Chain A
Amino acid sequence: MQIVTKGVAGTMESSDIIVRIEPAEQKGIDLTLTSAVMQQFGKQIEKVIRDTLAELGVEDAIVNAVDKGALDCTVAARVKAAAYRAAKCEGNTAE
């Protein structure tokens, strides 16, 4: 999946995560994560974000996520929604 524009999904409400994705000039995933539970779950949230992007075939992107204690399934859903929007295939319900 090719990231061609800016995509956003989620909120900064409690138990949610806001994920912003945009095209990268450089190779790879440039991820910035802010989390209310960084100490305990930072690594896990980052893993879910990276795994979800890999699953979608997103290889190059700038990703900015602000987490407010979202569960893994919420993190994955927000990443997917933001990525689809950023890839301009919102109607695509593949998988």
Chain B
Amino acid sequence: MYNIQTGAPLSGVRLSEIKAFLLSRGLTMEGAADYYVALREDDGKIVATGCLDGRVLKYIAVDPSTEGTGAAATVVSELVSYAWQQGIGHLFLYTKPENDRMFRSLGFYPVAKTQDVLMMEDQKNGIAKFVDSIPKKENAGTVGACVMNCNPFTLGHRYLVETAAKRCDTLYLFVVSEDASAFPAAVRYALVEKGVADIPNVIVTKSRDYLVSRATFPTYFIKDRANTANVQTDLDIAIFTDRIAPALNITRRFVGTEPFCPVTNAYNERMKQLLPEKGIELIEIERKNGISASRVRRLMAAGDLAAVRELVPDATYEYIKDHIG
């Protein structure tokens, strides 16, 4: 049997030992994790590792000499129990597609996959239940979708939604649910709902854990890393094209042109390549006068409410006015 070592956060010798082990298994450790598990032999040699970062299991690696001894099960079991005790109920992991069976036997179910990566979750039909929960319309006609963070909802977003809504019969507006932005998710959602209430063919809905979330697309929330984002970008797009779009008959995806943010721009460029293969048209809409949510946030920080007034709809302005300073 092995000695199990757990803890958080990683530092010093323990961190470098785990990094070295991961490297020997072809994995590079990037960023911190909340909790880690290492299995060691009596002489201290690491034979298996795993980490929990938010709701994502990461860096699960096993020394080939221990295969068949249940080392991976011990690590995953420890991570799952810890997460559950912390109240984290919906877990995700990424692995190579060939590990599908192994993780299925540990209670994980596939969400979506690309050539290189398989994304799994610990709930059976988690994604199917999410798709079922999205309101559907009969005779929806041509269905489009856009995914927005709206941090906060601006006249630029409003223009994009209006324009997109004119170009399809039903438009799904997915508001990113991840609470990693200046405006809390509930506020962003409420301001979008108010901001588009008068456009009858728009259905506002939450993206939950499945679109541009920390689970599906962690690098979106760490901006300067356009290059390393590819794997996640493809996976995020696969979830949309393979799981969400078919269930809602979505054939058009709308995005605003993105001159400022390299990550968003790379995401849009990748969608241009991948969406048509799945029968979905990507339509780019020219940004209105370069209005952006980040500009609004800068003006807020500078206390320039009059300038903010020019860039946002009434509901957003009222909220900012009441909550600034």
Residues of A within 8 A of B (CB): 5-8, 11-14, 18, 20, 22, 32, 34, 36, 64, 66, 68
Contact = CB atoms under 8 A, between A and B. Distances in A.
Contacts of B70: 12-14
Interface in B261-317: none
Given A22-B89, A32-B124, A8 B106 contact: no
Given A12-B106, A34-B105, A68-B73, A18 B81 contact: yes
B77 interface: yes
A79 to B, nearest CB: 15
Nearest to B75: A12
16 contacts: A6-B85, A6-B89, A8-B81, A11-B74, A12-B70, A12-B74, A12-B80, A12-B107, A13-B70, A14-B73, A18-B107, A22-B89, A32-B124, A36-B105, A64-B123, A68-B73
A13 B81 contact: no
Interface in B64-117: 70, 73-74, 76-78, 80-81, 84-85, 87, 89, 104-107
A13 B104 contact: no
Interface in B115-162: 122-124
Contacts, number: 49
A45 to B, nearest CB: 13
Nearest to B105: A36
A13 B87 contact: no
Q: How large is the interface on B (under 10, 10 to 19, 20 to 34, 35 or more residues)?
A: 10 to 19
Nearest to A36: B105
A32 B104 CA distance: 13
A13 to B, nearest CB: 6
Given A6-B84, A34-B104, A12 B73 contact: yes
A7 B123 CA distance: 16
Contacts of B123: 32, 64
Contacts of B78: 11
B229 to A, nearest CB: 31
Given A18-B81, A32-B123, A66-B107, A13 B89 contact: no
A87 B74 CA distance: 26
Nearest to A8: B84
Interface centre among B73, B74, B84, B123 (most CB of A within 10 A): B84
Interface centre among B80, B81, B89, B107 (most CB of A within 10 A): B107
A12 to B, nearest CB: 4
Interface centre among B70, B77, B85 (most CB of A within 10 A): B77
Nearest to B69: A14
A18 B87 contact: no
A53 B81 CA distance: 20
Given A6-B89, A8-B85, A34-B104, A18 B122 contact: no
A66 B106 contact: yes
Contacts of B80: 8, 12, 18, 20
